[in-house]
């Protein structure tokens, strides 16, 4: 873990918050929002109550490495791992194991033809285990 | 001696009575009110309420009304401060986009880099006289999807019509 657990976002005054927090704002918050809530109408799933459940599943972890925000973030694998762990620490502390750069490299190498189909598969699998993840209304 | 004082008082009374009766015959009661009113109004208009002239700088544009303002370094759109809103707030009747473009701008005052969120305001037509800026620092072509800003960020809102863009500092980049 990167030691940012429980750190609530309190506006621009907090300067020394680490690279992962800055990367989250610069590369993720535009769509996922400063509070990780996303936008149902925009097709951006919310993090709270959901991202940790996906990250606790093997297929879910591979899915996470192929979502549009990750593949287009222009971050290297270590940077992706840091931001993933920042997100997990902030919105679902303790629910899933942290990512290592090696795991990011390995899962990004897995071919994924259609990430939306993969999300449906993850949601279906988790639902069959009794776990509900964030709504994703887009076809 | 007492007779002299009596006579003096009598003459003062008589003079006063004469003056009052004469004034009552020649001046209407309303003429006093009219003159007193003019005097009061004139005093109010001629006396400045504040010790400076507030009109002096009213026509000077705000720094954020210019595309070169540092917080606008990565902006592509109309300035909300020239569309009826302000640097950080959407004009009345429009709503802030739920997704946005985030850029990094250097504040010349402290030479530090700040993260600035460019939220579009949605749901109203564009203002013809609004200042349009295209700075888009750090933008890359469309095939770098995550670094592409030529997008209507109102796309995730119910009202998808673009109105203007605000520049909100959301963090520090260093």
- Looking at the domain assignment, is residue A100 inside a domain? yes
- Counting the structural domains of chain A, the total is 1
What are the residues facing B166 on neighbouring strands? B119
Owning domain of residue A81: 44-128
pTM: 0.70
- Of these residues, B53, B66, B101, B150, which one is catalytic? B101
- Looking at the domain assignment, is residue A18 inside a domain? no
| A contact test, residue of B75, B113, B171 with most A CBs within 10 A | B171
A14 and B171 within 8 Å at the Cβ level: the answer is: yes
A31 and B99 within 8 Å at the Cβ level: the answer is: yes
- Looking at the domain assignment, is residue A38 inside a domain? no
The terminus-to-terminus CA distance of chain B in angstroms comes to 103
- Structural domain spans, chain B: 2-46, 63-172
Helices in chain A by DSSP H: which ranges? 19-27, 29-32, 51-55, 58-64, 68-71, 77-91, 101-108, 115-128
- Of these residues, B53, B70, B76, B120, which one is catalytic? B120
B116 backbone dihedrals φ, ψ, rounded to 5°: -120, 125
Contacts of A68 in chain B (CB under 8 A): 145-146
**What chain A residue is nearest to B113 in terms of C-alpha separation?**
A15
ipTM surpassing 0.85, yes or no? no
Contacts of B100 in chain A (CB under 8 A): 29-30
CATH number of B63-172: 2.60.30.10
Q: How far apart are CA A37 and CA A60, in angstroms?
A: 19
- Looking at the domain assignment, is residue A96 inside a domain? yes
Contacts of B145 in chain A (CB under 8 A): 68, 72
Lookup: tokens for B19: 């003056």
- Looking at the domain assignment, is residue A94 inside a domain? yes
Q: How far apart are CA A42 and CA B161, in angstroms?
A: 14
Q: pLDDT tens for chain A, 139 residues: list them.
A: 334 333 333 343 343 358 999 999 999 998 899 999 998 888 889 999 999 999 999 999 999 999 988 988 889 999 999 999 999 999 999 999 999 999 999 999 999 999 999 999 999 999 999 999 998 877 6
Minimum distance, in Å, between the CA of residue B168 and any CA atom of chain A = 10
B165 Rama sector, left if φ>0, alpha if ψ -120 to 50, beta otherwise: beta
């Amino acid at each position: 873990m990167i030691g940012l657990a429980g750190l609530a976002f309190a506006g621009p005054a907090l300067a020394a918050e680490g690279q992962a927090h800055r990367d989250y704002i610069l590369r993720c918050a535009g769509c996922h929002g400063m509070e990780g809530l996303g936008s149902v109408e925009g097709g951006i799933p919310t993090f709270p109550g959901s991202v940790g459940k996906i990250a606790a599943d093997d297929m879910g972890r591979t899915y996470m490495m192929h979502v549009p925000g990750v593949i287009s973030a222009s971050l290297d694998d270590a940077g992706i791992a840091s931001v993933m762990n920042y997100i997990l620490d902030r919105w679902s502390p303790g629910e899933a194991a942290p990512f290592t750069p090696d795991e990011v490299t390995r899962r990004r190498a897995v071919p994924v033809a259609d990430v939306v189909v993969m999300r449906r598969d993850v949601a279906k699998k988790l639902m069959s285990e009794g776990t509900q993840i964030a709504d994703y209304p887009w076809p | 001696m007492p007779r002299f004082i009596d006579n003096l008082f009598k003459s003062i009374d008589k003079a006063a009575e004469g003056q009052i009766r004469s004034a009552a015959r020649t001046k209407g009661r309303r003429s006093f009110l009219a003159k007193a009113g003019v005097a009061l109004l004139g005093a109010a208009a001629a006396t400045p309420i504040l010790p400076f002239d507030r009109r002096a700088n009213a026509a000077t544009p705000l720094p954020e009304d210019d595309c070169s303002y540092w917080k606008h370094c990565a902006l592509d759109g109309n300035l909300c401060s020239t569309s009826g809103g302000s640097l950080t707030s959407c004009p009345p009747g429009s709503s802030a986009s739920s997704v946005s473009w985030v850029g990094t701008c250097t504040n010349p005052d402290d030479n530090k880099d700040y993260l600035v969120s460019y939220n579009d305001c949605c749901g109203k037509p564009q203002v013809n006289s609004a200042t349009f800026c295209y700075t888009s620092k750090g933008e890359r072509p469309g095939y770098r999807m995550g670094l592409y800003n030529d997008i209507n960020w109102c796309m995730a809102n119910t009202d998808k019509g673009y109105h203007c863009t605000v520049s909100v500092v959301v963090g520090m980049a260093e």
